[in-house]
Each structure stands twice: as C-alpha cells, then as structure tokens.
Chain A
Amino acid sequence: MNRFLSVLIIFSLFLLTARLDAPAQVRVTKSASEVSFLDLSGFKSGADNASLSFRRTLESDLTRSGWFNLSGGGRAEFAVMGNVEPDGARLTVRCEAYNTMTRERCFSKTYQDDNQGARALAHRVADDLVLAMTGRPGMAAARIAMVSNRTGKKELYICDADGANLRQLTRDNAISLSPRWSPDGKKIVYTSYYRTQFPDVFLIELATGARQCLADFPGLNSSAAFSPGGRELALILSKDGNPDLFIMSINGDRLTRLTYSKRAAEASPSWSPDGQQIVFVSDSSGTPQLYIIGREGGEPRRIAVGGAQNVDPDWGANGYIVYSSLLGGQFQLYVLNPATGESRQITGHDANYEDPSWAPDGRHIFCVRRQNYNSRIFIVDTLSASCISLLQESVKGDCFAPDCSGKYINHAF
C-alpha cells in the first residue's frame, strides 16, 4: 500500500513538472491518471477490409495515447463524428471532434489516403485528434528501429509504434547495433561489422535501401546519433588512441573531438533539443556515469544521480533525459530534469529496464524489458505507469536498442 502511495506521489510530481512547460493550447486539464471518455459512436465506417483496418487502428492508437477511454461507461467528454469511405482501394476520411462539455468543435479535417494504406492514414488521424483534444503531440505515426537476433545474427528491424509492420532492414549476417533515426525519419545510422569486420558507422536511406559508410576510422566507430538539425552526428571514435566523443558533419568534411578523457571510455551520446549540448556516458570516475558537454567541448559536467551505473541516456524534445540506472543489481529507468538535477524512477522492480528512447509525445518511452534473460521491447507510460509489450508474444527472438522516430517532429529548426 505504501509503495502504491509513493508511486502515486511520484507520478503526480512528475505530472506537475511536466505541466510547467506544457504547450499553451492544452485543453485537457485533468490529471493524467484520469482519462477522458471519448465517444466514437458518431464515426461511421463500413465493413470492407480497408475501413475495418482503419477503424481498428484508429481505436487502438487513441487508446494507446493514454489520454482516452473508448469503452464508454461514463459521460463522454469528447465525441468524434465523421465517416470513412472506400473509393476503390483508397480511403476518404471526414473527421470532426467536439468537446461535449462546451459543445465546441475543436477539430475538423478531411483526409485522402495517399497510397500509404489504411493503417498509416489512421495513425495520421489519431495524432491529429490527440493534438486537437489534448494540445499534445501523439506518437501513432512514429516508427521503431531495433536490433533483433531472431535469425541467429543481430540485424536491424523497423516496425510501427503499435508493433505492426515488422520488417527486417539488414541481412548482413554480421553484427548490427545501435540504430538511430534521422530527425526527418527517412534515414537510420547504425554500427555494423559487415563490410570491414570492424565496427563502422553506416547510414541507410529507407526509401531506396541505399547504404553509405560514414565512419570507418581505425579502431572503434560507434554510438552515432543525429543532431536535432540532422546535419551532424555525435559519435564515439577511438582513432586518436582512446574511445572519445566527436561531432562529425554528415558529409564528413568536419570532425571535432569533444572529450579528452585519459584512460576512460565514452559512449551513448544524445543531443539536447536545442542542439547545444550532448549528454553521454563516461567511466572517467571508474564506473559508467552521465555527463553533459557543450557542443563546442570544454569540461564535461557530471550529472550527480544515484546508482552504481547510469547509462544509455536519451534527451527528449521535452527537455527531460531518460536513462537506465543500476541499483541493487537491477537496471531501472529514471527521468531526469537536467535543469534541476531531480530524477524520478519510472519503472517497477519486476524486471530490468534498459536502453530507453522517448516517443514523440514526450510521455511514452520505448525500452528493453529483460526478464530471465529474455529481452523484449516495451512501451512505458511515464504518467500512468502502464507497461505493454511492443510486439506480439508470437514474435520470436530477443530485441534490443529500440529507437523511436519523430522525437523532434514538433520542433522547428
């Protein structure tokens, strides 16, 4: 009971601070542990496959957003009206949303399927509806890149934020690691041994499948992460004799070394949303801990948090850093406000939670949940504490290193 209470308090606190920097147009002012009842009965859809697929996906996306309850049982606060019409294989969707309290229409839009299919269209509509009704971005249209060993080798895979459309991206029969999306969601950088048998950094263009080697310096090339503007990478190179943090322009014409730690290893850089700072892991204190450094270099600042190890940071567009902390022999996720140094645990003690990545809604986190040496990707809701598996149980193999696309999608650069 005490634990339940403290969890409740932690989440209310989190919510409180999360609200401080919330967008001005927030319409939902309830606490997030409550969800709004949403009435979809005025939204008409046919029995054809495309319409059914659209509706199923829309309902699942709205539920997954964490803000809505579609099952009825209470007086609806929002109502979505409209219809979906099949036009050959393509869909036309008309959609309006009302606040039933104020009787105010908060959303109206007509969509044409742009040949991306019913599911992709549903993701777009869901994100627009979430934004209109809550003032917050959704995550339905995001995609997840990950590593899986289901073929016996570690290859890259991508899928939608709801776990559908799982697709194998590499077939190198080598080791592929650490995928990270470009800000526009069209490219992925990752580390692979496939060409030289050494760890090199590659770029995959998703539309064409074209692949380009970005870094094959002597020694280690790893942990590459796109800057929010998309023109630079933060990455780890050991070419100067030690694994250190560098910034490299995508076209390769500029390379700047940021850290000069002696006899220490750096890893896992992640950019601040304004692109001016980088959080990374260094063991210069003897154990892997979090540090922040300016993009021009200088003395790294240690982030003083508890835990024997603090690793795999991801700096969200909401300003918060999520990371994995080793405490009492178990990895748990924490969310840190770098401005105040406060951090809060967001996962329970039932398993190890590692390698977190913020969803574009700034609310959910994709991570690895490891139990009995089975590693699966889970979606953690930082507000409600719900934790669900991304892929269905029937998908075999272990999954690692999830990275969610669209982190900066609501930020203009």
Chain B
Amino acid sequence: MTKNRWFAVVALLLVCALCMTSCRARKGGRRAGDNIGGEVGSGEAGSLATRPEGDLNILTSVKYDAVMFDYDSAQIRESERTKLEAVADYLKKNADVGVIIEGNCDERGSAEYNLALGERRALAARAYLIGLGIDGAKMQTKSYGEERPVNPGHDESAWSVNRRDEFVFFK
C-alpha cells in the first residue's frame, strides 16, 4: 500500500515536470520570427543573405539601443522587444538601409563557444525582425563572442551590459 502511494506521488511529480518542460519548450518555440517569414517548422529564419559587396557606407549617426540578454541565453527578453520594434520601424522607413546585427557575450566561459553564442544572439534578433516584416536580405549577423566588451570589468554589472546585440546601419 505504502509502496503504491509512493508510486503515485512519483508519477504525479513526473507528470508535473513533463508539463513544465513542455510549456517551456512551447514558449521558446513561439518566439516571434521563427515561423513568420522564415522556413516554417525549421526553427530557423532561413539561410543568411550573402554579404554586401564592397566598402559599406556605415551610418554612424544612426543609433539604436542594444538588446540585452540573460547569462548563457539567446532568448529575446520581453523587455527588449520595444527596442527591436524601433529598429524595425527605422528599417521600414528607410528602404535603402541595411543592418549588421552584432552579437556579444560576457567574458565567462569558452571563447569559441561564446563566438557561437554571440551569433545565436544576433540570429535571434534577426528572426524577431523578420517576424516584424523586415526582409532577411537586408540583415547581416556578426558575432564578436567575448572579444568586444563595452565594460571591461569582471563582475555582474559589467557582464550584464556586455551580453548584447548592437545594431550597425549601412547603405
């Protein structure tokens, strides 16, 4: 009897855990951009556009806020969405302008892994912008990994500002 009760408790816990993980997965799966504009079901916003030829005319005066990330995450936080909407608005009003999305990481962990994580952060913003109607052909992604911190410090206040996507506009 007690054995059965234990079994029930364990089963219940398992079901709960399963529900939680599937909820989390679904939340991740519904990130904007994943299925809008990109290849449906691939989880990726399609192949990247070829790099623009020749020297780019960088629009240094056009500045938009960096999108910040949680530690070891490439998820676009809800708080960062308005920043991406502002970038999308600007790109829509300036049809001849393209954007380089630069993904960055804090200094912790493997430099090679951070290079890939930075690219994922840039790609997450790209997917979100595609979801907002921006043409993927106007966007380039570039990862700096942990190589370009804005704050060279070694604590969370530095790390949190270093985990970011920056937007560089070009014609």
Residues of A within 8 A of B (CB): 154, 175, 177-178, 191, 196-199, 216-220, 222-223, 236, 238-243, 262-268, 281, 283, 287-288, 309, 311-312, 324, 326, 354-355, 373, 400-401
Contacts and interface: CB of A to CB of B under 8 A. Distances in A.
A196 B50 CA distance: 13
Contacts of B113: 265, 267-268, 281, 283, 288, 309, 311-312
A220 B141 CA distance: 8
A218 B50 contact: yes
Contact of B110 (A264, A266, A355): A355
B42 A262 contact: yes
Secondary structure at the A interface, as helix, strand, loop or mixed, is: loop
Interface stretch (B12-20, B81-89, B115-123, B159-167): B115-123
Chain B interface size range: 35 or more
Given A198-B142, A243-B120, A281-B113, A177 B44 contact: no
A401 B111 CA distance: 9
Given A177-B111, A265-B116, A265-B117, A241 B142 contact: no
A191 B115 CA distance: 10
A283 B141 CA distance: 20
10 A-B pairs with the lowest CB-CB distances in the bound complex, closest first: A241-B44, A262-B43, A265-B116, A218-B48, A311-B110, A220-B119, A243-B116, A267-B116, A267-B113, A268-B112
B80 interface: no
Given A199-B115, A219-B141, A266-B116, A238 B110 contact: no
Given A198-B142, A281-B113, 4 more contacts: A262-B43, A309-B109, A311-B112, A312-B112
B51 interface: yes
Interface of B: 28, 38-39, 42-51, 72, 74, 109-113, 115-117, 119-120, 122-123, 140-145, 147, 154
Given A281-B113, A288-B109, A309-B109, A199 B142 contact: yes
Among B45, B109, B122, chain A packs the most CB atoms within 10 A around the CB of B109
Contacts of A324: 110
Given A199-B142, A242-B120, A326-B109, A220 B115 contact: yes
Contacts of B48: 217-219, 238-241
A287 B109 CA distance: 11
Contacts of B141: 218-220, 238
Given A267-B110, A287-B72, A355-B110, A236 B154 contact: no
11 contacts: A198-B142, A222-B115, A238-B123, A241-B44, A263-B120, A265-B113, A268-B110, A288-B110, A312-B110, A355-B110, A373-B154
B75 to A, nearest CB: 9
A191 B140 CA distance: 18
Contacts of B47: 218, 239-241
B27 to A, nearest CB: 12
A397 to B, nearest CB: 15
A243 B142 CA distance: 12
Among A196, A218, A239, chain B packs the most CB atoms within 10 A around the CB of A218
Contacts of B45: 241
A242 B51 contact: no
Contacts of A288: 72, 109-110, 113
A338 to B, nearest CB: 19
A260 to B, nearest CB: 9
Contact of B112 (A217, A263, A264, A281): A281
Contact of B51 (A218, A241, A373): A218
